[in-house]
Every structure is written in structure tokens, then in C-alpha cells.
Chains A and B, each alone.
Chain A
Amino acid sequence: MAGFKKKASREMPEMNTSSLPDLIFTILFFFMMVTTMREVTLKVKFTIPAGTELEKLEKKSVVSFIYVGPPTDNLRAQMGSSTRIQLNDRYAEAREVMDFVAAERRGMTNQAEQVISIKADQGTQMGYITDIKEVLRKSWALRINYSASRRN
């Protein structure tokens, strides 16, 4: 029995966990970097089309979004169900896109690379899209991107 007692008295040395917070903080900072908080609440609902020849939107800092679609279910009672354009947090008319583009551009460091991404519902009538495109042309925001999901 003496042998057993000897073994039992040997204690497992405790692991040093003092670097654990640092480790977690590192992961935390990584996620803080890659996180893009959705800065707008969507007021329109849309299903984006699916395509094959898509490119990734690489630089998030130069991208501005325009949402096009019918109002969401809880807003339909007040706003009806016809197609709306959403800029930032509110509904807007196509001509207001010009101010929106200018305001977005002001906050960018490399303004020449500005990209406007159009997130529009599949069923939207082209009239709305064309109006937006005309205004974008006039405001010299020529690089656009039709947001889509990948299909095989």
C-alpha cells in the first residue's frame, strides 16, 4: 500500500492559463476586423437573382448599396406593396440617388474606385432600375454591381 500512497500524493501541476485572455483577445480582434455591421435596417424585401459570371466585392469601404424591392411585410400596411428604393435607412425616390452617391463619396478616401451595388428583387420592373442607372450616370458613379448569388 505504501506504493499507492506515494502515487496519490503526486499532484497534477496546474496549467498556466494566464495567456488564455491574450489568446481570446487575438481571436476577438480578428472578428472585430472582419465584421461588417449591417448599418441599415432593411425596409424592402428582395430575392437577388442568381448568376454564373459573378465577381466578389473586394473592398467593402468603397461599396454603397441601393436596395430595391417591395416594402417588408410589417410595413406593407402603411406603404403598400409597390416597388420602393431604399437609401440608407429610408425610402427614397430615384432622383435622390444623386445626393446619396455624393454623400457616400465624401466619406471615401479613394473616390475613383467607388462602386454602387444594386440589390434588387428579381421581379422589379426595369423602369426603376433604369431610372437609378440614369441618375448614377449623371452623378459619375459608373462602376456598378448587380448583386447576385452564385448558381451552377
Chain B
Amino acid sequence: MAKKKKKMPGLNTSSTADISFMLLIFFLVTTSMDTDMGLARRLPKPPEPDQEDATMDIKARNILYVRLNAAGQLWIQDEMNFGYGDIRELRPRVKEFVKNEQNLSRLPEKHVKNIDLLGQCFVTDKHVVSVQTDRGTPYNIYFQVQNELVAAYNELRNELSKQKFGREYQFLKDEEKAAIRQYYPQNISEAEPKKYGGDK
């Protein structure tokens, strides 16, 4: 006589929900949803061993010096004006310098450049903003200066893109962005830090 097949009792799964709830709560607690943010920069390529100092043959009118000393003071210098300045002065100065709207002889020289989508443009693509720091400069000051420089470029690009395309820079198509970037290239050079004094 064959044994009567026993019916397998169903597994009680009522606690699965509790277990997964506990796991869920664990991950909820450990998750940090805040996204990391920061100021994105690009470093220049490492120098070639036989490379000469290229900054020598840039005309004085094309360079805007931003120097930071160990005390955190800001020195802004172009061909005509120089002196200690406040961080709030930096953005308008950089914008004026990069834009050179009236084609002044003390501000960067302008060249005719053919840019896709924008046509013949008169741009200051040879300008350089040179940031020099001291080894003792507080990082926060340096960061704020970088932030202002990027802000100046962003404002210029936004103005141009509104004028040409009627939208803000961030809403443009990639090729339009590229055109704007050609019009206002970000030329920020960071020289080797100098020791302006102090024993550090």
C-alpha cells in the first residue's frame, strides 16, 4: 500500500516583511542623499621637460594678474590699473577685461574669429587671467577667487547666449555651447606659487 502523500505545509512568510523592513531602515539610515558638489576645474597638462616659459611672449595688455598674498589680500593688476582690491571688485574687473567692449588699448586685443553659428566675431581670445598664490594663502580665499572668476565667465557666457540664442547658457544645445565657449574661452593660468615673504 502506497503511503498517502503528505501535504507540505506552507512556509509562514509573515515575518519577511519585518525582515525587509529592518534592512530598509538600515539603508535609510546609512544613505546620504546629499550629492557632492564642487567647483570643477581643469589642470593644465604637465610641462614638457624642454618647455620654455611661455608666459614671456604675452603682451602686457593681455594679462590680468590676480595675486594673493599670505595675509589673504588680493592684488589686481592689468596694464593700467593695479592695487589691492576687494573680492567684490574682481568679478566686474574680470568681465570688463575679458569683454573689452569698447576695444580699448589697455584691455586685451581683439581678433576676428570665425565661429560656427555666430559667424565673424571680434573676440579677445588671447587674454589670460593669471592667478598667483603664496604658499601661505588661506585656501578659502583662493577658492573664493576661483569662484568669482568662474562666475565672471559664466555671466559673460550667459549674456552672450541670451543675446544670440535667446536662452541661458545651460539650456543651449551642445554645439551652441561650444560656439559660446569659443567666443569666451576660459584662460585662467595658475603660476607656480611664490613666496612673497614669511618663513613658510
By a beta-carbon cutoff of 8 Å, the part of chain A in contact with chain B is 17-18, 20-21, 24-25, 27-28, 31-32, 34-38, 49, 51-57, 60, 63, 68, 115, 117, 120-127, 129-130, 133, 136-138, 140-150
Are B41 and A127 in touch, CB under 8 angstroms? no
Closest to A20 in B: B17
Of B13, B32, B38, which is within 8 A of A54 by CB?
B38
Main secondary structure of the interface of A (DSSP, over half): mixed
Task: Tell me the chain B residues, 130-146 only, with Cβ under 8 Å from chain A.
Answer: 133-140, 142-144, 146
Whole-angstrom distance from the CB of B24 to the nearest CB of chain A?
Answer: 5
Closest 9 pairs between A and B when the two form their complex, measured CB to CB:
A127-B135, A122-B140, A31-B27, A145-B38, A21-B16, A124-B139, A51-B147, A126-B137, A24-B20
Main secondary structure of the interface of B (DSSP, over half): mixed
Of A17, A55, A130, A136, which is within 8 A of B135 by CB?
A130
**Tally of A-B residue pairs with Cβ under 8 A?**
144
Closest to B192 in A: A130
Whole-angstrom distance from the CB of A70 to the nearest CB of chain B?
Answer: 12
Closest to B154 in A: A53
Whole-angstrom distance from the CB of A83 to the nearest CB of chain B?
Answer: 9
Whole-angstrom distance from the CB of B154 to the nearest CB of chain A?
Answer: 6
Whole-angstrom distance from the CB of A67 to the nearest CB of chain B?
Answer: 13
Closest to A129 in B: B139
Task: Tell me the chain B residues, 44-101 only, with Cβ under 8 Å from chain A.
Answer: 44-46, 68
Q: Known: A125-B200, A137-B46. Is A54-B138 also a contact (CB below 8 A)?
A: no
* 12 A–B contacts, CB within 8 A, in A order: A24-B24, A28-B27, A35-B27, A56-B35, A57-B38, A125-B138, A126-B139, A130-B133, A142-B44, A145-B39, A146-B39, A150-B37
Assuming A35-B30, A143-B40, what are 19 further A-B pairs, CB within 8 angstroms?
A24-B17, A24-B20, A31-B31, A49-B140, A55-B37, A57-B38, A115-B40, A123-B140, A126-B135, A126-B137, A127-B200, A130-B135, A133-B190, A137-B43, A140-B45, A141-B43, A144-B42, A147-B36, A147-B37
B122 in contact (CB, < 8 A): no
Of A25, A60, A145, which is within 8 A of B41 by CB?
A145
Are B39 and A55 in touch, CB under 8 angstroms? yes
Which of A24, A140, A144 has the most chain B CB atoms inside 10 A of its CB? A24
A11 to B175, CA, bound (A): 68
Which of A28, A136, A149 has the most chain B CB atoms inside 10 A of its CB? A28
A127 to B146, CA, bound (A): 16
